[in-house]
Amino acid sequence: MLRWNNDYNHGAHPEVLKALSEINDQHFGGYGFDEWCDAAKSEIKSHFGAQADRADIHFLAGGTQANLTVITAALRPIESVVCVEAGHINCHEAGSIEATGHKMLALKSEDGKVHAEALDAEAARFYFDETQEHLTQPKMVYISSPTEWGTLYSLAELKALREVCDKYGMYLFLDGARMGYGLTAPSGDVTLEDIAELADVFYIGGTKCGTMFGEAVVIMNDQLKKSFRFYMKQRGAVLAKGWLMGIQFYTLFKGGKNALYYTECRRAAEYAMELKAAFEAKGVKFAVDSPTNQQFVILHKDQLAALEKKHIVEYMDWVDEEHRIVRFCTAWSSRREDLDVLLADIAAM
Amino acid sequence: MLRWNNDYNHGAHPEVLKALSEINDQHFGGYGFDEWCDAAKSEIKSHFGAQADRADIHFLAGGTQANLTVITAALRPIESVVCVEAGHINCHEAGSIEATGHKMLALKSEDGKVHAEALDAEAARFYFDETQEHLTQPKMVYISSPTEWGTLYSLAELKALREVCDKYGMYLFLDGARMGYGLTAPSGDVTLEDIAELADVFYIGGTKCGTMFGEAVVIMNDQLKKSFRFYMKQRGAVLAKGWLMGIQFYTLFKGGKNALYYTECRRAAEYAMELKAAFEAKGVKFAVDSPTNQQFVILHKDQLAALEKKHIVEYMDWVDEEHRIVRFCTAWSSRREDLDVLLADIAAM
Amino acid sequence: MLRWNNDYNHGAHPEVLKALSEINDQHFGGYGFDEWCDAAKSEIKSHFGAQADRADIHFLAGGTQANLTVITAALRPIESVVCVEAGHINCHEAGSIEATGHKMLALKSEDGKVHAEALDAEAARFYFDETQEHLTQPKMVYISSPTEWGTLYSLAELKALREVCDKYGMYLFLDGARMGYGLTAPSGDVTLEDIAELADVFYIGGTKCGTMFGEAVVIMNDQLKKSFRFYMKQRGAVLAKGWLMGIQFYTLFKGGKNALYYTECRRAAEYAMELKAAFEAKGVKFAVDSPTNQQFVILHKDQLAALEKKHIVEYMDWVDEEHRIVRFCTAWSSRREDLDVLLADIAAM
Amino acid sequence: MLRWNNDYNHGAHPEVLKALSEINDQHFGGYGFDEWCDAAKSEIKSHFGAQADRADIHFLAGGTQANLTVITAALRPIESVVCVEAGHINCHEAGSIEATGHKMLALKSEDGKVHAEALDAEAARFYFDETQEHLTQPKMVYISSPTEWGTLYSLAELKALREVCDKYGMYLFLDGARMGYGLTAPSGDVTLEDIAELADVFYIGGTKCGTMFGEAVVIMNDQLKKSFRFYMKQRGAVLAKGWLMGIQFYTLFKGGKNALYYTECRRAAEYAMELKAAFEAKGVKFAVDSPTNQQFVILHKDQLAALEKKHIVEYMDWVDEEHRIVRFCTAWSSRREDLDVLLADIAAM
């Protein structure tokens, strides 16, 4: 069987595993105070252009951990987070944000993105005067790019969000679990430097983009930097052997424009466009128009049954009794020969 | 420089790394639903004897995460945790337990252990009648074995704690971050089966005993099993690629009595006894009499300076202006040739 | 100026004040352990018919306090509360429930009520299988009757909710801040005994129905009774001089069917129907059809300006640039002569 | 029976009740936005001398509520509170502070006070360098004056604490539940103006000093003022009918140096000194030397039995099998004739 259900079903990129193996016999200082974490931070910052010096970087093991640690560090108890209803923190993390004491204000959104006008309207509802003490204060906007639905913020959209955030004094937090597939999407126009300029805090996902595990939280806003490691410790997010993440991120990000992070994600993004075209050629409809590595197609149950003979996919909602939304993901680990099998099977379904 | 400051300064045991590498190209289901997690659970349970069938096992990335997830899953908001003042959760986890809303009741203890009489007296203070509503209800006892000071609970001591827990309806939670060095300590008399019989919940540490990372939480009490994975998810403690921990624990625990977990920890425990003897031979005093891999010696600053030419140690408190408590750890990764250098340097200091 | 903006703008009913004054020179035990709290509980239970013996009653100072204490006592960290979007706990208590760590699942609702079918559909989404660990577990349904919009649950509606709760093992929590105006609404068909039979926990509001302050939390489900006073204490909800609430509730509830609680609320409910008829006679539209003491009318700004010469009202949303929803409340403290002024002014506006 | 067990066993001072009664028929704005709250704030500030303009005042119903609201508003999740082991928040509020997520660092103290040297030593332990991320950051010092043991801070002691707080950037929070009995203690040397100058935040207790209920939280430090009412709302600490507290505090504090708050508390403080002298005359020992309204005497069980024929007291710990510490409180409600009975009974015991 070939697995297309998600983008985290393989271990590490071979180069990453090799690097980990090569230093396995050496000893290091604990908790992220080691030379590989330092080197990884340098390499990551080298992608931030003019923003490099402003960045504080921390490595955490997973995405939910990154989200809840950033949010608990950033907000006071009366402050809330704006996100979309489909936001990962709103519906896929078991109430993790509320467990830190914060309310979420979930916006409706057709395409999984927070749009500037909707954000402005929501914020205005809370900030229209000084005596709204029965409400929370929306202080952070949480977005994912690519989103849960594979859609991607354009540079213009991010700038518009930044303006609304500045208007109300809100933080912009970008969850980049799949950032690599967005930065390299053929139709994308956003760079890491743009994100470093526009977001107050974001993270660069490793788990879905070439590492065994690990997410790099990048803090740009000075107000959010203070004592961040205390928050990590308190939430169980300081790994004893921090260098394990340092060496992995170093390996992914060294090499400037030719870094593995780009080359491996770009191939997957391109594979996804081939996949999309194959479904389009069959007249298949999409639940959403995604320019990145996740494709949400609406299959008739017979089409699905045909594909499932060789392919593992992810089930989403039923559209009607005969049609179901199904997710196909490509990833850094996707192989050309497997894709060709899938493309042929789509053509034949 | 040779590192003796802690027991988590190397990557993974070579066999563990080899196993990880061999499956790197394969694909697996996410979140711990995979064949290696299943195999690891089977192997671990095989060490529990008659208790095997009662055990639920979950793999978490780190110790603080394991502690806070177990405690938040087990306790109601008005329930508190009894531990010793030196307990890891009380003074080395940045208020992580209070951050979940629970008070800790910290007992004084010379040797880092919770003693049954002290526990009974503390519990009696809270449970003497039904109207103590201005107090919390101590519902869980948290112990580490080996403790933060390297001391080890005997079977009789664990049984005595169990009796007090039964008397008051309290849970016994054993933090086994260094359990391997306790189970194999020459003077120890406790087995994994004993622990599985006596504790309500415990964890078997991987990070300090041969894995890159990962702790195996074992739940014996049915009341604590319900929905545990929801709590893990909520606290960011579900790793996307769960098989990474499955294969590591499988490798450590397969082989029954000859499992790597025992052989590698036993060697370190024996090295520690050699180290202890070397210090004793020099008339050096110990801060506490430890039968396990951590040795806390009281060195004159000149002795310390002499050893620090080649050896990295962990500083603890000053005893007076000239004497300091210093920790030396052996570990699965300690090498005979390095120990010999250290022993010679101690003899010559 | 005459105040119709809310139902908590006067001190206590004269009989309540008189009772408070008469015992002012006497001394009592603290924290609710006194004869007046006991007497009040007896009188309240006398209204529960066959359910009387099952009830545990506690007096708390305010509604937000009652809501957050009940919810934190009832739920585990991974459990959530279902309510309507307009639910008081969802949008008027500053994130108080999330501050206890719990997610709210807010249903859309035209009339401010949770409807059984919508509840069933929502619960089904979460409970369809055992592996939904990325979600919370909806364990409590929070309703207000009368609702924030003055609407009222019928007995049939409450029974239907009870059935859905039983189906999924959920608690039914009824916020009765304005319960008196519902029990005495001309069109209502629910008694206190019905509520005691159908809800797991509810509270009878005093603040809006004749006391200076105080809400009586009534726990019917044994599972929710355990250690409730500890939760009250922990949340700052144990008043030192508990008898102050005891004597007030005793005064309101003594006298069986002729208790002040009924006679005073009934008059207000009837006044509200006169008010409603007056607006209807002028062709004024209502934002919602309310059978209780709160009336939400849609006034043209000129009408509003006319009424505001003598009357204080509560502003709600604008409907368009010229029309606004405005709340008029009657209460136990409303006077016949004031109502007549208002009725005349409505007729003349 | 005469009640000396505590200082909150009577309703309100007759003048306070009279004031409440006189405005019972009037209507007011809700949530503390009313003329009596404004007037009360003015009168209270008039006692602050040069500090008056800096003060923000809020009225809350009870002490535990005041403590937990102030602390949750002031601290970030990684910050902790220093107090004494006997501190009310540490052992009499059911884990209320931990329930807001904050650790308490409890100092040993013979006399129930935090002493400047002990505070400095404790703070130094946490702030000695920037990498103590496994610890919390002690950011607030919580003291009560008078303390739980009736002892009283001198002006010199408060100034010394202020200096240590300034040294480490910590807030000084003074719980003044019994402040009236301290300000008027014959041996005291601290004024309300001193407290307003030295504390960052404090509260003036009403419940034990003449009101039915209510505590006045006074915020002096600008950093702690922001959005405080949101925190009150979130914790259920905004009373709907705020004027009930406004009128009570207004009545207690009007009149400058001759305010009821002083005259009524002074009489009780003087009564306590008579009581103390009576016990001393009998050779009775004290658990602690208290200059305020609480006296902790060590009675033989026969003496206790003799007194308990007419007097209700509060039991504290047993000293040995025959002697017990017992608390006698005087209060604003204590009557001369009752005191004379007690003095005679002590003389005769």
> What is the tens place of the pLDDT at every residue in A159-174?
999 999 999 999 999 9
Q: How confident is the model at residue D281 (pLDDT cuts 50, 70, 90)?
A: very high
Contacts of A227 (CB under 8 A, 6+ apart): A73, D76, D78, D133, D137
b (16+ CB within 10 A) / e for A220-230: beeebbebbbb
For residue D23, the chain C residues in CB contact (below 8 A) are: 11
Q: Which of residues 200-229 of C touch B (CB under 8 A)?
A: 227, 229
| Chain C contact present for B349, CB below 8 A | no
D interface mutation test: which of B98, B122, B125, B129 has the most D CBs within 10 A? B98
Please compute the mean of the pLDDT values over residues D255-277 and round it to a whole number.
Answer: 98
For residue B240, the chain A residues in CB contact (below 8 A) are: 8, 62-63, 207-208, 213
- φ and ψ at A38, to 5 degrees? -60, -45
Q: What angle do CA C87, C92, C95 make, to 5 degrees?
A: 95
For residue A139, the chain C residues in CB contact (below 8 A) are: none
Question: What's the N-to-C CA distance of chain D in angstroms?
Answer: 17
Q: What angle do CA D262, D268, D269 make, to 5 degrees?
A: 80
Whole-number Å distance between alpha carbons of A343 and A274: 8
Given this model, what pLDDT does residue B297 score? Answer: 98
Query: What is the rounded (10 degree) CA torsion for C238, C240, C242, C245?
Result: -80
* CATH top-level class of D14-258: alpha beta
For B14-257, the fitting CATH number among 3.40.50.300, 3.40.50.1370, 3.40.50.720, 3.40.640.10 is: 3.40.640.10
How far is D32 from chain B, CA to nearest CA, in Å? 29
pLDDT above 90 for C197: yes
Asked if residue C184 lies in contact with residue C262, where contact means CB atoms within 8 angstroms, the answer is yes
| Residue A286: burial class (beta carbons within 10 Å; 0-12, 13-18, 19+) | middle
Summarised one tens digit per residue, pLDDT across range A225-273 is: 999 999 999 999 999 999 999 999 999 999 999 999 999 999 999 999 9
How far is A258 from chain B, CA to nearest CA, in Å? 23
Number of inter-chain CB pairs under 8 A, A vs B? 142
CA torsion sign for C173, C175, C180, C181 is: negative
DSSP letters for B126-152: HHSSTT-TTS-EEEEEEEESS-TTS--
pLDDT above 70 for D186: yes
| Chain A contact present for B9, CB below 8 A | yes
For residue D79, what is the nearest residue in chain B, using CA coordinates? B95
CA torsion sign for A273, A279, A285, A286 is: negative
Kindly list the domain boundaries of chain C, sorted by start residue. Answer: 2-8+260-348, 14-258
Whole-number Å distance between alpha carbons of C308 and C304: 6
Going from the C-alpha of B87 to that of each of B69, B114, B121, B175, D123, the distances in angstroms are: 17, 10, 19, 10, 20
DSSP state of C219: E
DSSP state of A208: T
For residue C175, the chain D residues in CB contact (below 8 A) are: none
Q: Which run of H or E residues covers position B318?
A: strand B314-318
Please compute the mean of the pLDDT values over residues C23-50 and round it to a whole number.
Answer: 97
* Of residues C72, C133, C229, nearest to B230 (C-beta): C133
Residue whose C-alpha is closest to residue D290's, from D113, D51, D103, D89? D113
Q: How confident is the model at residue C127 (pLDDT cuts 50, 70, 90)?
A: confident
Please answer yes or no on whether A230 and D101 come within 8 Å at the CB atom. Answer: no
pLDDT above 80 for D129: no
- The length of chain B is 349
How far is C22 from chain B, CA to nearest CA, in Å? 30
How far is C44 from chain D, CA to nearest CA, in Å? 23
Whole-number Å distance between alpha carbons of B192 and B50: 11
pLDDT above 80 for A57: yes
For residue A99, the chain B residues in CB contact (below 8 A) are: 234-235
How far is B253 from chain C, CA to nearest CA, in Å? 28
Q: Which of residues 96-125 of B touch C (CB under 8 A)?
A: 100-101
Q: Hey, what are A187's tokens?
A: 């139709």
Number of inter-chain CB pairs under 8 A, B vs C? 44
Given this model, what pLDDT does residue B86 score? Answer: 87
Number of inter-chain CB pairs under 8 A, B vs D? 52
Summarised one tens digit per residue, pLDDT across range D30-70 is: 999 999 999 999 999 999 999 999 999 999 999 999 999 99
CA torsion sign for B271, B272, B273, B277 is: positive
Percent of chain A at pLDDT > 70 equals 99
Paired strand residues for C79: C137
Residue whose C-alpha is closest to residue D60's, from D206, D223, D265, D222? D206
Amino acid identity of C49?
A: G
Q: Identify the three-state secondary structure at position A70.
A: helix
Asked if residue B299 lies in contact with residue B326, where contact means CB atoms within 8 angstroms, the answer is yes
Q: Identify the three-state secondary structure at position C329.
A: strand
Please count the other Cβ atoms lying within 10 Å of the Cβ belonging to residue B267: 17
Which residue is listed with tokens 């039991």? Answer: D315
Q: Which of residues 300-329 of C touch D (CB under 8 A)?
A: none
Please compute the mean of the pLDDT values over residues D160-176 and round it to a whole number.
Answer: 98
Given this model, what pLDDT does residue C86 score? Answer: 87
- Cis bond upstream, residue B146 (ω within 30): yes
Asked if residue A296 lies in contact with residue A111, where contact means CB atoms within 8 angstroms, the answer is no
| Chain D contact present for A236, CB below 8 A | no
pLDDT above 80 for C128: no
DSSP letters for D302-315: HHHHHHTTTEE-EE
When the pLDDT of each residue in chain A is averaged and rounded to a whole number, the result is 96
pLDDT above 70 for A130: no
Please answer yes or no on whether A11 and B244 come within 8 Å at the CB atom. Answer: yes
| Chain D contact present for A30, CB below 8 A | no
Among B86-100, D119-133, D303-317, which stretch is predicted with the lowest mean pLDDT? D119-133
What is the architecture, at CATH level 2, of domain D2-8+261-348? Answer: Alpha-Beta Complex (3.90)
Please compute the mean of the pLDDT values over residues D277-292 and round it to a whole number.
Answer: 97
pLDDT above 70 for C130: no
Q: Hey, what are B93's tokens?
A: 């986890």
How far is B128 from chain A, CA to nearest CA, in Å? 33
- 3-state SS of D66-97 is HHHHHHHHHCCCCEEEEEECCCHHHHCCCCHH
Given this model, what pLDDT does residue D130 score? Answer: 64
| Chain D contact present for B52, CB below 8 A | no
b (16+ CB within 10 A) / e for A178-210: bbbbbbbbeebebebebbbbbbbbbbbbbbbbb
When the pLDDT of each residue in chain B is averaged and rounded to a whole number, the result is 96
| Chain A contact present for D5, CB below 8 A | no
Whole-number Å distance between alpha carbons of C192 and A66: 49
For residue C94, the chain A residues in CB contact (below 8 A) are: 78, 133-136
Domain A14-256 has CATH 3.40.640.10: yes
Please answer yes or no on whether D98 and B102 come within 8 Å at the CB atom. Answer: yes
Whole-number Å distance between alpha carbons of D126 and D164: 14
Please compute the mean of the pLDDT values over residues B25-46 and round it to a whole number.
Answer: 97
Please compute the mean of the pLDDT values over residues C10-18 and round it to a whole number.
Answer: 98
pTM of the model: 0.96
When the pLDDT of each residue in chain C is averaged and rounded to a whole number, the result is 96
Q: How confident is the model at residue A132 (pLDDT cuts 50, 70, 90)?
A: confident
Q: Identify the three-state secondary structure at position C190.
A: coil
Going from the C-alpha of D212 to that of each of C210, C245, D10, D158, the distances in angstroms are: 18, 11, 8, 30
* Of residues A207, A212, A236, nearest to B62 (C-beta): A236
How far is C215 from chain A, CA to nearest CA, in Å? 19
Please compute the mean of the pLDDT values over residues A271-293 and round it to a whole number.
Answer: 98
Please answer yes or no on whether B137 and C227 come within 8 Å at the CB atom. Answer: yes
Q: Which run of H or E residues covers position A3?
A: strand A2-3
Which chains sit next to D, with 3 or more Cβ pairs under 8 A? A, B, C
pLDDT above 70 for B130: no
How far is B93 from chain C, CA to nearest CA, in Å? 20
Contacts of D202 (CB under 8 A, 6+ apart): D173, D174, D175, D176, D179, D195, D196, D217, D218, D220
Residue whose C-alpha is closest to residue B238's, from A67, A141, A331? A67
For residue C129, the chain B residues in CB contact (below 8 A) are: none
Going from the C-alpha of C129 to that of each of C165, C189, D56, D140, the distances in angstroms are: 17, 38, 53, 47
Which residue is listed with tokens 């001198």? Answer: D154
Amino acid identity of D278?
A: A
| Chain A contact present for B330, CB below 8 A | no
| Chain C contact present for D80, CB below 8 A | no
What is the architecture, at CATH level 2, of domain A2-8+260-348? Answer: Alpha-Beta Complex (3.90)
Q: Identify the three-state secondary structure at position C146.
A: coil
Q: Hey, what are C149's tokens?
A: 């919009």
Whole-number Å distance between alpha carbons of A314 and A308: 11
Please compute the mean of the pLDDT values over residues C319-342 and round it to a whole number.
Answer: 97
Q: Hey, what are C268's tokens?
A: 């207000």
| Chain C contact present for A85, CB below 8 A | no
Summarised one tens digit per residue, pLDDT across range B239-293 is: 999 999 999 999 999 999 999 999 999 999 999 999 999 999 999 999 999 999 9
DSSP letters for A222-288: GGGTTTHHHHHHHTT---TTTHHHHHHHHHHHTTGGG-HHHHHHHHHHHHHHHHHHHHHHTT-EESS
Which residue is listed with tokens 């003349």? Answer: C348
Given this model, what pLDDT does residue B132 score? Answer: 85
Q: Hey, what are A332's tokens?
A: 């850094």
